[in-house]
């Protein structure tokens, strides 16, 4: 017979325990010999990649017991497959799948590994290497130690009462929000929070939702369509969203980033904040406030949450994706009284609630002061990186103007015409630098005026300096 296929290089699972389980079956009424059935099933499991090279099989004793067969029959099966090159057995060691027993098919669209970048100015990502892992593990242990047995049940779909109490106090203290724990719904990040809010608004009769332009058109449109709503863009200028233009759309909901507009970085001006609240009251409308990265400000006065001005008209969504890490998938909605019930029901129908132990850990982290300590450390780190970015551009591309630097960890670079955004991004990538244009943030995807969104959250000072030096001439002059 033909030999087995060549093996893959993937690492096999290292199962703990005396004998790992393996799902096989025998049909005593089929007419096929039991040993032949067993050999065929193990052989097929290896050929199809269900068992990979180096993976451990059950002991002959345990497999015989599980299938109701004699141990000698299983041992004979293993000997035959070993002779065929599918298995290897060493004295005193477990039977394992032989190297060279299986090679998975190549992916239909295999891509070569991306080259290593000198600097990747990807935006929207905090410094992942600074995640306070030791503090988080401490908080998880403390939360697990104190959690009552009842806490392992499904619980309130709004989330843990402990986290909602702590979060309400935190948001009142830090964001000047009108936070009532009874009107907080814990969610799995911003995307789910926006989806819950839009579904609830659709149920309340809203048909059109507006979003900032530039902003996040792809996510806003997708979330609106999923809720059965129509999404329309509204222009953002140096004072934030244009409320008169918003009024003209007929929308009864709008998604805004008032504390630090994404991606321009402007702050919603006081007059615009009041006008937006007045619009919501007059139109029987709602404002969805994305209160992202408000914790990170440098040389400006703090700006309170819009929700604190009109708690009955603003749905405020916050997360730990920027303050801690996106992978935690913890967020929350501050809901108006009329929408708390619908949002809670939408959450219950979606997933019955977010993981409780993680919520309790976050509550411990905040209560202990370790969360505030981490934020202070990160403000200093991001401020240093911001300075490095400003200095590098001043040295290698002084013609480039930067805006949006007062808060957060990204800036907007304004390039002189006739630069070409796409050509610039491609040319920078050829020099191992990741640059990102403004066009994906515009509803029209226009590439002019030419602007770059430079994230410095997850790129170190040295990489910032070396990366800008590598593309300084591209930024300073036309690239087409």
Predicted confidence (pLDDT) per residue in 261-270, tens digit: 999 999 999 9
Beta strands at 331-334 and 87-88: parallel, antiparallel or unpaired: unpaired
Instruction: Classify domain 1-108 by CATH number.
Output: 1.10.10.10
Q: Helices 217-226 and 190-203 meet at what angle, rounded to 10?
A: 40
Which pLDDT does position 352 carry in this prediction?
94
pLDDT digits (tens, 9 = 90+) for 126-163: 999 999 999 999 999 999 999 999 999 999 999 999 99
Judged against a pLDDT cut of 50, whether residue 8 lies above it is answered with no
pLDDT digits (tens, 9 = 90+) for 62-94: 999 999 999 999 999 999 999 889 999 877 778
Judged against a pLDDT cut of 70, whether residue 113 lies above it is answered with no
Mean pLDDT of the chain: 92
CATH class (in words) of the domain with range 131-370: alpha beta
What is the SS3 assignment for 362? helix
Which pLDDT does position 7 carry in this prediction?
41
Residues in the chain: 480
Residues 6 or more apart whose CB falls under 8 angstroms from that of 37 comprise 26, 27, 30
Judged against a pLDDT cut of 50, whether residue 176 lies above it is answered with yes
Which pLDDT does position 297 carry in this prediction?
77
Lowest pLDDT segment from 16-30, 390-404, 457-471: 16-30
Judged against a pLDDT cut of 50, whether residue 4 lies above it is answered with no
Judged against a pLDDT cut of 50, whether residue 2 lies above it is answered with no
Which ranges constitute the DSSP H helices of 176-216? 190-203
Judged against a pLDDT cut of 90, whether residue 110 lies above it is answered with no
Domains of the chain: which residue ranges? 1-108, 119-127+373-476, 131-370
Residue-by-residue DSSP string for 119-181: EE--SS---GGG--HHHHHHHHHHHHHH--GGGGS---TT--HHHHHHHHHHHHHHH-----G
Looking at residue 205, what DSSP letter applies? T
pLDDT band at 303 (very low <50, low <70, confident <90, very high): confident
pLDDT band at 19 (very low <50, low <70, confident <90, very high): low
Closest CA to 184 of 292, 361, 344: 344
**Residue range 287-302: mean pLDDT, rounded:** 81
Report how far residue 257's alpha carbon sits from residue 268's, in angstroms, rounded to the nearest whole number.
Answer: 8
Report how far residue 451's alpha carbon sits from residue 263's, in angstroms, rounded to the nearest whole number.
Answer: 11
Domain pair 1-108 / 119-127+373-476, same fold = no
Whole-model pTM? 0.85
Report how far residue 77's alpha carbon sits from residue 113's, in angstroms, rounded to the nearest whole number.
Answer: 41
pLDDT digits (tens, 9 = 90+) for 371-418: 999 999 999 999 999 999 999 999 999 999 999 988 889 999 999 878
Q: Helices 461-476 and 421-430 meet at what angle, rounded to 10?
A: 130
- The CATH number, out of the four listed (3.40.50.1360, 3.60.21.10, 2.60.40.10, 3.90.1150.10), of the domain defined by the range 119-127+373-476: 3.90.1150.10
- Asked, as a colleague might, if the bond just before 113 is cis with ω within 30 of 0, I would say no
Which ranges constitute the DSSP H helices of 59-111? 60-67, 71-83
252 close to 285: Cβ distance less than 8 angstroms = yes
Which pLDDT does position 6 carry in this prediction?
40
Tokens 């410094």 — which residue?
Answer: 127
């Amino acid at each position: 017979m033909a030999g087995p296929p060549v093996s893959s290089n993937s690492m096999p699972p290292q199962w703990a325990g005396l004998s790992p389980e393996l799902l096989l079956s025998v049909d005593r009424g089929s007419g096929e010999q039991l040993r032949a059935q067993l050999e065929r099933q193990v052989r097929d499991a290896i050929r199809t990649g269900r068992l990979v090279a180096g993976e451990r099989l059950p002991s002959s004793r345990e497999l015989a017991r599980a299938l109701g067969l004699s141990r000698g029959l299983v041992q004979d099966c293993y000997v035959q497959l070993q002779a065929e090159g599918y298995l290897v057995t060493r004295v005193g060691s477990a039977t394992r799948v032989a190297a060279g027993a299986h090679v998975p098919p190549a992916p239909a669209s295999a891509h070569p590994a991306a080259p290593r970048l000198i600097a990747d100015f990807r935006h929207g990502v905090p410094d992942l290497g600074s995640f306070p892992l030791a503090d988080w593990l401490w908080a998880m242990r403390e939360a697990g130690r104190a959690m009552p047995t009842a806490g392992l049940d499904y619980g309130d779909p709004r989330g843990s009462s402990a986290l909602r109490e702590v979060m309400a106090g935190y948001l009142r203290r830090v964001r000047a929000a009108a936070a009532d724990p009874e009107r907080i719904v814990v969610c799995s990040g911003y995307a789910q929070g926006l989806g819950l809010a839009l579904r609830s608004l659709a149920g309340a009769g809203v048909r059109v939702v507006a979003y900032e332009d530039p902003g996040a058109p792809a996510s806003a449109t997708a979330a609106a369509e999923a809720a059965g709503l129509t999404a329309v863009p509204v222009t953002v200028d140096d004072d934030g969203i244009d409320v008169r233009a918003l009024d003209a759309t007929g929308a009864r909901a709008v998604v805004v980033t008032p504390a630090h507009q994404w991606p321009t970085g402007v702050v919603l001006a006081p007059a615009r904040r009041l006008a937006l609240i007045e619009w919501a009251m007059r139109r029987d409308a709602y404002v969805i406030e994305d209160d992202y990265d408000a914790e990170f400000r440098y040389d400006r006065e703090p700006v309170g949450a819009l929700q604190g001005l009109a708690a009955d008209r603003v749905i405020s969504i916050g997360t730990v994706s920027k303050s801690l890490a996106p992978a935690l998938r913890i967020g929350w909605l501050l809901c108006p009284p009329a929408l708390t019930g619908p949002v809670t029901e939408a959450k219950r129908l979606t997933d019955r609630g977010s993981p409780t132990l993680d919520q309790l850990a976050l509550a411990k982290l905040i209560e202990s002061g370790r969360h505030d300590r981490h934020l202070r450390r990160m403000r200093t780190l991001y401020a240093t990186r911001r300075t490095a970015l400003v200095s590098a551009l001043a040295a290698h591309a002084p013609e480039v103007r930067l805006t949006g630097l007062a808060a957060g960890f990204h800036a907007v670079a304004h390039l002189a015409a006739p630069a070409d955004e796409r050509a610039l991004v491609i040319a920078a990538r050829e020099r191992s630098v990741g640059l990102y244009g403004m066009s994906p943030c515009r509803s029209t995807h226009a590439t002019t005026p030419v602007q770059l969104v430079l994230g410095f959250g997850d790129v170190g000072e040295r990489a910032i300096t070396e990366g800008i030096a590598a593309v300084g001439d591209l930024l300073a002059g036309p690239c087409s």
